[in-house]
Amino acid sequence: MMHSVPKTMTAVLLTGHGGLEKLVYSRDVPVPAPAAGEVLIKVTACGMNNTDVWVREGAYGTEDDPSAVSTWRRHGNTLTFPRIQGTDTVGHIVAVGEGVDQARIGERVMVDFSIYNRDDDSLADIDYMGHGRDGGYAEYMALPAENAHVVATDLTDVELATFCCAYLTGERMLERARLAAGETVLVTGASGGVGSAIVQLARARGAVPIAVAGPGKEAAMLDIGAQAVVTRGQGDLAEAVEAASGGRPIDVVADLVGGPLFNDLLKILRPEGRYTTAGAIAGPVVQLDLRTMYLKQLELHGSSQGSRADFRRLVRYIEERKIRPLVGGVYPLSEFHRAQTDFMAKNFVGKLVVVPD
């Protein structure tokens, strides 16, 4: 059932793999109608993520060819063009499909962007809105009603749009690595969306985060809860981490960088330490000395997105004010190219957020 909803809307369409020219701003995209069990939201804010860029570039490779142009899912591509990207969506419900209580109209919701495809906790067949179906870089978005969550918070829509993808990814990484209270976690790429989320999420668990970040971002890292900061690219990493930790063993490495740092990060881990990753900003193909892995009895975890339980914990952390939003910039939808250009430059802390014109 529709309520004063226009027939067309503005949106940014991903028209294929490639450069920024593949992102097309359009004013005449049909407004989706909510199917049975779905709601339609009027989007008020949508956070930007690395996944948006990498899917646009087709930068995920394949198991046979790391340099191949390929999208996010390793098995069973669900990306078709044109596609509206955008995962970290906040908005207000303006219409509902069959079987959804009309009393939900008017609710402000944060979108759980995951398409779980299963009833259990396995993420083996996970997909996401903005990839397998349209996301939030638009004025309106249709989604399953069960994925539209009211969050009891006085945060603004823009602030609420900084959480979902980055913090859900970070929470899943820490959950897989079983980070416990009192343990020390080294966080690479700590000034980005996921990295800054992990610093706060580690504190929410009672753990001690040590951040690795670029020059000029040290104060921001300390402000959000890092125990100490290692400035990236200055001297020997292992020595810098030992000094920053005061000699505390590193129980967990939460790595979002990869590349040449990878083997050093395994050396930094204590025996029986755990390594977890959800990104490879500095390069996905790394050198691994298997002797380091097996002689130190290390655990290596790959992680992406999160489970329903991870999302519920995230909502609880927001409502209990254990984590806070980090808005690095706000852009209108019509300036999407500028927003993504600034995003790729990484000269900010936290998340960039896009809002309707």
Torsion of CA 101, 107, 113, 118, to 10 degrees: -30
DSSP 8-state code for residue 338: H
**pLDDT tens profile 99-146:** 999 999 999 999 999 999 998 888 889 999 999 999 999 999 999 999
Distance of CA 115 to CAs 161, 306, 334, Å? 18, 11, 28
Q: Where do runs of H (alpha helix) occur along 45-134?
A: 50-57
Mean pLDDT of the chain: 94
The pLDDT assigned to 1 comes to 45
pTM, to two decimals: 0.91
CATH 3.40.50.720 in the chain, residue ranges: 166-302
* Bond before 82 cis per omega within 30 degrees: yes
CATH assignment of 8-162+325-355?
A: 3.90.180.10
CATH 3.90.180.10 in the chain, residue ranges: 8-162+325-355
CA-based max dimension of the chain: 65
- pLDDT-derived band of residue 282, with 50, 70 and 90 as boundaries? confident
The pLDDT assigned to 3 comes to 61
- Higher-pLDDT residue of 235 and 181 is 181
Per-residue b or e along 94-106, where b marks 16 or more CB atoms closer than 10 Å to that residue's CB: bbbbeebeeeebe
**pLDDT tens profile 206-232:** 999 999 998 999 999 999 999 999 998
- Partners of 26 in the beta sheet? 11
- Reported as type and span, the H/E element at residue 208 is strand 208-213
User: How far is the C-alpha of 303 from the C-alpha of 174, rounded, in Å?
Assistant: 9
The pLDDT assigned to 180 comes to 98
pLDDT(2) > 80: no
The pLDDT assigned to 72 comes to 86
The pLDDT assigned to 40 comes to 98
pLDDT(164) > 60: yes
- CATH 3.40.50.720 is the classification of domain 166-302: yes
